[in-house]
């Protein structure tokens, strides 16, 4: 059975709030999704990859626009509930960047904390809704719509 998860992740992959603050932000998320959606908060040791699942169709270089078909090869192999270092040199144009700047379509994110709503019963959060969650968290957030 397939399911959808709406993830809310801080824009800074290494930023982390206290548990109390994260719970407060999760409560805001819970008000924005279906009443029967279960909202969870997960802390990761380092910057975990929050993947859009089967919604991920394409990954592009942020500098030259090349289609990075072998993007998975760029991931460091030291994954331990997250990556300590997202630095990468891109094979297309040699640019030195961070993995979280790659143009994932649909979007993915990296984060030490992940607020997730299972089967949210809605589509993307609006910019205003993201700002409201960001205010509760004390940090700007981005979203990942994951299909499993």
Q: Footprint of Zn ion on this chain (CB under 5 A)? A: 61, 63-64, 66, 90, 92-93
Q: Look-up: residue for tokens 């990942």?
A: 144
Q: Give min distance, CB of 86 to Zn ion, in A.
A: 16
Closer residue to Zn ion in complex, CB, 62/121:
62
| For Zn ion, the closer CB: 64 or 148 | 64
Give least dist CB 92 to Zn ion, A.
3
- Measure the CA–CA gap between 80 and 87, rounded to whole angstroms: 16
Strand, coil or helix: what is 43? strand
Nearer to Zn ion by Cβ, of 102 and 115: the residue is 102
Which residue's CB is nearer to Zn ion, number 21 or number 66? Answer: 66
The residue to which tokens 């699942």 are assigned: 53
19 contact partners, CB below 8 Å, separation of at least 6: 41, 43
What is d(CA 58, CA 68) in angstroms, rounded to the nearest whole number? 8
CB of 50 to Zn ion, least distance (A): 23
> Is residue 65 helix, strand or coil?
coil
Minimum gap (Å) between residue 105 Cβ and Zn ion: 15
């Amino acid at each position: 059975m397939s399911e959808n998860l709406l993830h809310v992740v801080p824009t800074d992959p290494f930023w982390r709030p206290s548990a109390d603050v994260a719970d407060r932000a999760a409560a805001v998320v819970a008000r924005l999704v279906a009443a029967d959606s279960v909202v969870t908060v997960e802390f990761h040791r380092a910057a975990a990859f929050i993947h859009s699942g089967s919604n991920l169709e394409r990954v592009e270089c942020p500098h030259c626009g090349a289609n990075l078909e072998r993007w998975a090869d760029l991931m460091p192999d030291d994954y331990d509930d997250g990556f300590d270092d997202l630095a990468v040199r891109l094979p297309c144009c040699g640019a030195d960047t961070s993995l979280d700047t790659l143009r994932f379509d649909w979007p993915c994110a990296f984060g030490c904390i992940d607020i997730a709503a299972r089967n949210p019963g809605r589509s993307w959060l609006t910019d205003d809704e993201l700002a409201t969650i960001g205010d509760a968290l004390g940090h700007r957030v981005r979203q990942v719509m994951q299909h499993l």
